[in-house]
Amino acid sequence: MTEIIDGEAVAADVRDEVAAHVETLSDAGVTPGLATVLMSDDPASETYVSMKQRDCEEVGIESVHVEIDADAPAEELYETIDDLNAREDVHGILVQLPVPDHVDKRTVLRRIAPEKDVDGFHPENVGRLVAGDARFKPCTPHGVQKLLDAYDVETEGADAVVLGRSDIVGKPMANLLLQKGPVGNATTTVCHSRTEDLEGKLATADIVIAAVGVPEFVDGSALKEGATVIDVGINRVDADTEKGYELVGDVAYESAKERAGAITPVPGGVGPMTRAMLLYNTVKAAGLQSDMSIDLD
């Protein structure tokens, strides 16, 4: 029987733990604060940001939201970040990606104070992650680790294939799986658009993490029998539904379910975990900024 990995349920557990930490911090006079910055007209980005604000409210994190016109000069975003860096009530800052083409993403990510970089994308935090001394693990890969742990998926010595080499998911995911320690020690292969013999690599993978952003890129027939499949893709595909689209993963769910030992659905798999780990990073940031250690791991 294929196990369906329930991201909503694991995320709810994380939110409960986060809420308890928020209470501890609040008792000590610190209310964790998260600033979300949206500079985009992309409906998916708008949805994610409003979900993040709702999550904050649920666990008692103060949320500050800044919206910047997508056509505004890039300087407006940079100055907003400077203002948020200076605010004592803001412990975490997240600029929703992607930003418009005229904005330099690298400048944005470097401008956020590393101690408030709850995405873990600042070069200082990337370096710390790679060195095995993470301050903030990027939310999606950290969420995937939590799912693997919650469902007792053995990573030690497993052959893991990460599809995609993005800075948000692929690269940090591979790093985490490689590292010594819990939910690590995997033999990890990162595959991308120039990879040769992708079929061969997938056919022997015990764990497949798909993060390419292409609907149903992986067919079930490509998988090893019993593999664990973590689908990071959340693609909006035109459909005759109320919203005019449906959400489809990077893995063809029905065919993959036939073959996988465990699989995440889309929606309800990795997405809720991305949001839950953002809350966790925010309480961790608030703890670090007030000399109180918060550790969920």
> Is 116 a catalytic site residue?
no
Partner residues linked to 160 by β-bridges: 188, 207
Pairing type for strands 235-238 and 245-248 reads antiparallel
Q: Which residues in the 276-295 window bind ligand LMY7XDAE by CB under 6 A?
A: none
| Stretch of 43-51, 108-116, 126-134, 145-153 contacting ligand LMY7XDAE, by CB under 6 A | 43-51
Distance in Å, CB of 234 to ligand LMY7XDAE, minimum = 5
DSSP 128-159: HHHTT--SS--HHHHHHHHHHHHTT---TT-E
x-marked contacts with ligand LMY7XDAE along 104-123 as a string, rule CB under 6 A: ---------------x----
Q: Helices 270-289 & 43-59, crossing angle to 10 degrees?
A: 50
97 touching ligand LMY7XDAE, by CB under 6 A? yes
- Give the residue closest to ligand LMY7XDAE by C-beta: 271
Among 60, 170, 261, 271, binds ligand LMY7XDAE (CB under 6 A): 271
Give the C-alpha separation, 145 to 231, whole Å: 13
Q: Which of 55, 116, 117, 119 is catalytic?
A: 119
What are the backbone angles phi and psi of residue 208, rounded to the nearest 5°?
-120, 125
Phi, psi of 244 (to 5 degrees): 85, 0
Please say which residue, 144 or 183, places its beta carbon nearer to ligand LMY7XDAE: 144
Q: Which residues line the annotated binding site?
A: 164-166, 234
**What are the residue numbers of the active site?**
52, 96, 119
